[in-house]
Structure 1
Amino acid sequence: MIRIAYLGSLNFTRNGTQNNYETRIRTTDGEAVKKIEEEFNTLFYDNNYPERSIQLWGQRLYHEPIN
């Protein structure tokens, strides 16, 4: 069985798929795929990471003027 991993910044929009310069890699190297999968599972399932609200992140990154 061939296992494949893709990593990158591709946005699934018209511009992202047709006009923008996006970064991505594709690998079938078994050891690399295994390490990528392990890292993903650690980040996705590890209960020691605090939950973050997307709204909270946005407020910290982009300061909106008060209307």
Structure 2
Amino acid sequence: MPELFDNNSIEQWSADGEKEITQRALETARAMLSEYQEPKLDKACDEALLDYIARREIEIPTADELNQTY
């Protein structure tokens, strides 16, 4: 059963504050983001990834350029 869905009766839902699914989802997402801890990467691996990203940014045309060309 998904955790965000409320399967209580309408009376219980109303007594619990009438939270819609979007409100529960936003609260859950904000809690997850506030508790997030970035995993530690090996320094060499991190540098290799940053180098790869920099090379790909040069090789791949920007969205504006793609819109102009095509």
TM-score by length of 2: 0.32
TM-score by length of 1: 0.33
Using CA pairs under 8 Å that are at least 6 residues apart, name the structure with larger relative contact order, 1 or 2.
Answer: 1
Bigger radius of gyration? 2
